[in-house]
Structure 1
Amino acid sequence: MEAGPGAPVEGVPGLDRLPAGPTLLVGRRAELAALRAAAARPAEGRSPVLVLAGRPGSGRTTLAARFAVTVAADYPDGVLFARLSAPDGGRVPPARTARRLLEQLGADGAGVPLPGAVEDGRDEPACVALREALAGRKVLLVLDDVRDAGQVWPLLADEPGCLVLATTAGPLTGIEDIDPVILGGLDRQASGELLGDLVGGTRISCDPVGGADLAEACASRPAALRLMAGWLRSNPKLAVTDAARELARAVREADGKPDGKAAGPGTGTGTGTAAGAAAGPGTGPGTEQVAGQAPGKGPVAGGKEAPAKEAPAEDAPTEGKAGRRPADGARAGRGRRPAAKAGKQTADGGGKPVAAADAPVAGTPTVGTPAAGPKAGPPTDPTAWVKPGPGPAEPVPVPDNDPLIGAFTLLYGTLPPAQARLLRALTLAPAQTADLRTASALVGCPAPEAATMLAALAERELLGEEAPAADGTLRYRVPGRLYPRLVRLREHEDRPAEIELARARLLERLVRLTEAARALLDPAGGAGPDPLPGPLRLRSADQARQWLLGERDVLLGAVADAIGQGDLDGSAGRLVTALLRSLPLTGAAAPADLYQLHELVLTVAERHGKPRRAAAALLNLGDLQAAAGSWEQAGGHYRAALEHARSADDEPLCARALEGAAGCHRALGDAVRAADWYGRALGLRQSMGDQAAEARLLARVAEAHTAQRRFDEAEREYRASLSVLRRLGDERGQQAVGAALAELRERLDAGW
């Protein structure tokens, strides 16, 4: 038995970003050895890619974190970590991942590219910037829960000194020269050690046969074993053999009731309707399936398969050769090719998978032969690394006869009502990540009570621990493997009004926290809201800054979720305003985040028919694009802002949009259009009596005339600008315009 991911290696930054994972890691020595051997192989051309594949609950994320700790010393420039899918099955675009990885590398806010027109592909600005930033560095990138190869290959740098480790539930067809390390179940000894450590006492050692039966019923998968250990701790009078029998019953009943209302076990614990709903059919979005195992096969443990209840899916991985599928009665480990062959991933001309491994037998880890980099030197064309592959993968369903679902069904039925309610409510949290601040808001309870319930759910293996917040506040996450079941439970047990109230409480809590952080960072900017209760309070400017930056993704996710649903625009709008006021005070506000916030403001403004607010949002978007040098995109925003401003009959906004569009034409070298747009803005400012803007625009028109070699017109406009500035008494402006006029005269004297 090995300790889990340990303390950060001295001098190697970024290990604290890895998921905390369980305290102990048992078994997996063969898989770790295969990953280390692959990482040690020389690479050429691009960053080598290692793939760790396994079905939900196999421990792939924990193993990836452990591997990162063991090899961190070989990557002194740091460890980067990103999740590439949400618990609900949502696919994170590579550009968004690239922006977060750039920030982890230490890029300042101004250096993180804004979103491009598309978020897939190697030409997206953020992906290009990441690859450039990785050049010459030795960095380990851990990409967790990858859905498809299209999320990975835009991130691969022309830097063989970097290493990419991707965890996935299915084969990543499309990237050449990778072979997966496939996680099956634990061996018998490791399963017994894990159960003994989690259950405690002599219950396992005194009943080794019952422990072996329970491990086999769980397919020896760590997550299912941990859930059943929690169930045994909740039922101290039950024998281990009872646990195996009740798990088998829960699996059978869930598989036999397509309406999702499985009856509870007959041991007196009672799962009832709630547990039955948790064990409903797993065909909805966000569910998953084992990597390399055809649907319909039961979990494999000790060389035996559970009875098949479902027909294989059309995209089930094949065996050995393209087009071959395992026979219905085939036993894992019999008549198979070696794992190195079965795990080979390539693509044919049509981009279809050629081969994938079958489910490994528990106790016999199936390990591919990972390759580190291309076989024949660096390719001249980066696209040679990727062959045509399928589009973004759909979430793979978890069959109802999965022991993980049965174990969750049993354990959920033992929860006190308050804990069950909190667990369901956490599916409403942004990114399904919560601490005592957000959890107490979701269920409307005191913070200490929420903290106690979160710790109890984590102790029962129903929540995963995340890295603590900057102030030491513990943070938890709903495991993706349980998320779909919890959503269905929430929809079945909680009334819509209760769900909406929980979401509203969460948004208001985040607004108050953000405003409190703003007040600490800028005391002169006005008083903050009424103080929150002691456990929820931010107590210093440094803590406020760290909280804003550490919870930025959660805050942005909360706003996006609320505005996407469209029923809490008032609270969401207040949170957007608070973030726009607070994030710049941190000194590390990424323009990409501000851009996203202004896009959300635009969405709400257009939804509610508020053209003035829509115009303001478009002007802010244009300013961000202009600051990034994206002049064409900025010009499009300014022109759209002009249309909204005209419909609102707002002359200042119209003038601002005209001037912004003129500046874009000027930066693009189109002096004719620049002069035209500046002239239109000038006429509007003059009609408004804005003399300061009039003087500025006269000078801009003069510059545009100079670029067109219309020197007489340019001199006239400069003189007019000087005249206005003298009336205003603006000596500094007079000096600047006078210098421009003197330079023009010198050029004329030189014979221009």
Structure 2
Amino acid sequence: MDAPPTEAEVRDRLPAGAAPFAGRRTELAALATAAARTVPGRGRLVVLAGRPGSGRTSLAVQYARSVAADHPDGLLFARMSAPDGSPVPPGRAARRLLEQLDAVPAGLLPADPAAEDPACAALRTALAGRKLLVLLDEVREGAQLLPLLTEEPGCLVLATTAGPLTGIDAIDPVILGGLDQGAAVDLLGELIGGTRISCDPVGAADLAEACTSRPAALRLVAGRLRADARASVTDAAAELAPAVPAAAPQAPKSRGATKPRGRGPAADRRQARELLPAEPVPVADTDPLVAAFGLVYRSLPAPAARMLRMLTLAPTQTADLRTASALVGCPAPEAGTVLEKLAALELLEREPAAADGTERYRVPGRLYPRLVELRSEQDRPAEVELARARLLERLVRLVDSARLLLDRTAGGNPDPLPGPLRLRTPAQAAGWLAEERDQLLDAVRDAIGQGDLDGSAGRLVTALLRALPLTGAAAPADLYQLHELVLRVAERQQAPRRAAAALLNLGDLQAAEGHWPQAEEQYRAALDRARAAGDEPACARALEGTAGCHRALGDPVRAADWYGRALALRQSLGEPRAEARLLVRTAEAHTAQRRFDEAGREYRAAVAVLRRLGEEEAAAALSQALERLRRLVDGEGIVQVSE
């Protein structure tokens, strides 16, 4: 028997997690106890609930890695909230989890928007017989979680949330508060250096109290203290204290950790400055996380503060020097330097580096709402729109560059981007497209949703539709979503020709999945738009697609009728190859109705067309089909097909 994998060998798709990690022994033990519980008819589920900034994601990652050896098939991860806080559909999360397992089955295109996404069922099937831990971060509602739960006892689903999850029975969540005071002081020592803490233990205790021992607030203040060696711990505590309501609950203190005597609470120290120069902080309305963020934010140089605000426009809150430099309009090296400084201040989270080594960062969800407010207050709408337009055009250039590197038959050379931004090899291009796919799709959704940059958004959609299939990872659901976005723009701009093309592509995707009623609906809608635009080739394609749906649904009478309409239109357009194809399809529909005379006539007409085109091999193959039809007629004693 093979030895079980070590923790290092387990497939690990989790984020890095906060470092250093301090305290939480009680909570880790509670998670272990909850993970041991089972509910009949459902696999193991653990819910970790806590306020933003309580460190719930970091704790979940820490626990998951501590039990990795018990889940040798891997540690999977999916975020269940979009940057604006809206819930991510469970089907989209299921697809990403299947990709992490390298277990994406063909298709998975939803047939009915009201029904469960087939990706959820595929995920439950893929989890069967495996020992996996699935971390679902920032779950907003129980309806997101239910379709992803499995009955497999070897799997553990660990969900983090900010509030109660209704609709799921037998949940006993692990509730997360602040660190105990001893752990909070230890964390400060790890973050800013033990010497500064040991030289000012009273200030450290007061700072932990002012932050209510919430890890995110402690990290923000520590980032500022690291950046300014002259700033004292005591002064930082005093600046924060007035922003914390007097009735705010105190975090429990660890045994042996007592507050030194001779000093009043931090709230009795000098008044804090404003959160922002133009906006005084209302004491009763500000929590420690907001106050700590304000303390760090107002210390930023103007360019860094502007970049931080503009990063809220980055797809999925994730950015690298390519996207950051586009958003603020600065050289890539300068953007990289600012990103690194913001991460050092704990204002950005580090994401795993890209395949080419490019550093990637994420705007923390706990800071996102406040940064959006600041952006609306301090940046003119025209500046925001320009930043979004620059980002979309940068993404278009990058996607086109990746496509040209991957498809040498396309001709042309990649658009020469500045050196730090350039994709240089096909492998690098494929890796970039795969890693950034979610961000690229999110950028398109956001741009089309806002409706003010349809031109740039349309170019990005076109670039993605050309490039994604070259990676071999173009999920039909992603392509379907892109064509839906094209349709949305076309309808908004009253462009029936483009709307017809999008509907035809949607119909083709549904037909490829065997969703014939849905495909027919798309083809019929495409026919209406094509007629409105006077686009006869699109009309012919829609007619043929509709006929194919009837044929697949076992209705040869309607299939023959629709094929006949398409044939007449192709003949009027002078398209002999399409004419030959439709003659054969019509003949097959007649054969299914046992109308052998009509079938033979259509076959002979198709043979004649192919011979006029000089395609003798295809004509010979069709002649064999005609001969088989004759034998069928002879065998059943039916009147011979006339010459």
- What TM-score comes out, normalization by structure 1 length? 0.78
One-letter code of the match for 2:188?
L
Amino acid of the structure 2 residue aligned with 1:68: A
Match of 2:49 in 1: 53
What is the letter of the counterpart of residue 476 of structure 1? Y
Matched ranges for 1:238-253 at <5 A: 238-251=231-244
Q: Kindly tell me: are residues 266 and 457 of structure 1, through their superposed partners in 2, closer, same or farther at Cα, counting changes over 3 Å? A: farther
What is aligned with 1:130? 123
**Relative to structure 2, which stretch is displaced further, 58-67 or 738-747?**
738-747
Name 2:108's counterpart in structure 1: 113
Cα offset for 1:203? 2.3
Larger RCO: 1 or 2 (CA < 8 Å, sep 6+)? 1
CA distance, structure 2, for counterparts of residue 141 and residue 233 of structure 1: 35
Aligned partner of 2:9 in structure 1 is: 11
Is the aligned partner of 1:195 residue 2:196?
Answer: no
Name the counterpart of 2:218: 225
Relative to 1, partners in 2 of residues 1:528 and 1:604: Cα closer, same or farther, differing over 3 Å? farther
Structure 2 match to 1:539:
424
Give the superposition deviation at 1:420.
0.4
Shift of 1:19: 1.5
Deviation at 1:153, TM superposition (A): 0.5
Residue type of the partner of 1:136? G
The whole-number CA distance in structure 1 between the counterparts of 2:117 and 2:59 is: 31
Aligned to 1:590: 475
Tell me which residue corresponds to 2:252.
none
Contact 2:210 2:240 in 1 (8 A): yes
Secondary structure class of the residue paired with 2:316: helix
CA–CA distance in structure 1, aligned partners of residues 127 and 310 of structure 2: 40
Any conservation in 2 of the 1:99–1:112 contact (CA below 8 Å)? Answer: no
Partner Cα distance (2:598, 2:242) in 1? 90
Work out which of the residue numbers 576, 583, 589 in structure 2 matches 1:704: 589
SS, match of residue 461 in structure 1: coil
Asked if residue 689 in structure 1 is aligned to residue 578 in structure 2, the reply is no
- Of the candidates 56, 64, 69, which is equivalent to residue 68 of structure 1? 64
| Alignment partner, residue 475 of structure 1 | 360
- Superposed, 1:517-666 pairs within 5 Å as 517-666=402-551
> Are 2:401 and 2:423, in contact at CA under 8 Å, matched by a contact in 1?
yes
Q: Is the 8 A contact 2:138 2:162 kept in 1?
A: yes
- TM-aligned CA distance change 1:498 to 1:251, over 3 Å: farther
1:37 positional shift:
3.4
Contact 1:18 1:467 in 2 (8 A): no
Whether 1:677 and 2:562 are equivalent positions in the alignment is yes
SS at match of 2:243: helix
| Alignment map for 1:211-610 (pairs within 5 Å) | 211-251=204-244, 271-273=275-277, 276=280, 400-610=285-495
Identify if the C-alpha distance between structure 1 residues 89 and 665 changes in structure 2 by more than 3 Å, giving closer, same or farther: same
Which of 170, 173, 191 is the equivalent residue of 1:177?
A: 170
Deviations 1:327-381 (A, max 9, x none): xxxxxxxxxxxxxxxxxxxxxxxxxxxxxxxxxxxxxxxxxxxxxxxxxxxxxxx
Contact 2:317 2:362 in 1 (8 A): yes
1:151 matches 2:144: yes
Match in the other structure for 1:350: none
Matched, 1:31 2:8: no
CA distance in 2 between counterparts of 1:43 and 1:632 reads: 39
**In the aligned structure 1, how far is the partner of 2:601 from the partner of 2:294?**
82
Structure 1 residue 629: Cα displacement: 1.1
Q: 1:115 & 1:461 partners in 2: Cα distance? A: 40
Tell me what 2:201 maps to: 208
Q: Deviations over 1:627-674 (max 9, x none)?
A: 111111111111111111101111111000100111011111111111
When residues 731 and 9 of structure 1 are mapped into structure 2, their CA distance, relative to the original with a 3 A threshold, is farther
Q: Which position in structure 2 is the counterpart of 1:360?
A: none
Secondary structure class of the residue paired with 2:8 = coil
Aligned 8 A contact 1:185 1:221 in 2: yes
- The AA in structure 2 aligned to 1:143 is L
Q: Deviations over 1:529-548 (max 9, x none)?
A: 43111111111110100000
Is residue 54–residue 215 contact of structure 2 (8 Å, CA) maintained in 1? yes
Partner secondary structure for residue 177 of structure 1 = coil
Q: What is the CA-CA distance between 1:611 and the residue it aligns to?
A: 1.2
Residue deviations 1:674-710 (CA, integer Å, cap 9, x gap): 1111010011111112111111111111111111122
Residues 46 and 747 of structure 1, relative CA distance in 2, 3 Å threshold: farther
- What are the Cα deviations for residues 202-236 of structure 1, in whole angstroms up to 9, with x where unaligned? 22112222211211111111001111212333444
Q: Distance in 2 between matches of 1:712 and 1:693?
A: 22
| Counterpart code for 1:749 | D
One-letter identity of the residue aligned with 1:547: W
Q: Quick one: which of 663, 668, 674 aligns to 2:553? A: 668
C-alpha distance after superposition, 1:415-438 (max 9, x if no partner): 111110000000111111100110
- The equivalent of 2:251 in structure 1 is none
Taking the aligned partners of 1:669 and 1:146, their CA distance within structure 2 comes to 44
Q: Distance in 1 between matches of 2:287 and 2:346?
A: 17
**Per-residue deviation, 1:587:** 1.6
Aligned-pair identity in percent equals: 68
Q: What do residues 5-42 of structure 1 show as CA deviations (whole Å, max 9, x unaligned)?
A: xx9933321x1x31112221101122222222333456
CA contact 2:68–2:75 (8 Å) conserved in 1:
yes
State how far apart, in whole Å, the 2-side matches of 1:626 and 1:461 are. 49
1-side partners of 2:527 and 2:461: how far apart? Answer: 23
3-state SS of paired residue (2:82) = coil
Q: What is the CA–CA distance in structure 1 between the aligned matches of 2:524 and 2:486, rounded to whole Å?
A: 18
In the superposition, the TM-score normalised over structure 2's length comes to 0.91
Counterpart secondary structure, 1:174: coil
Aligned amino acid, residue 12 of structure 1? V
What is the aligned partner in structure 1 of residue 81 from structure 2? 85
TM superposition shift of 1:480: 0.9
* Cα drift, residue 577 of structure 1: 1.2
- Equivalents in 2 of 1:623, 1:133: separation in Å? 27
SS of 1:111's partner is coil
Q: Cα deviation per residue 1:65-93 (whole Å; 9 max; x = unaligned)?
A: 11221222222222221000023111111
- Distance in 1 between residues matched to 2:8 and 2:157, nearest whole Å: 21
CA distance in 2 between counterparts of 1:71 and 1:153 reads 24
d(CA) in 1 for partners of 2:136, 2:619: 57
Aligned length: 612
Q: Secondary structure at the match of 2:365?
A: coil
Q: Flag structure 2 segments of 5+ consecutive residues without an equivalent.
A: 249-268, 638-643
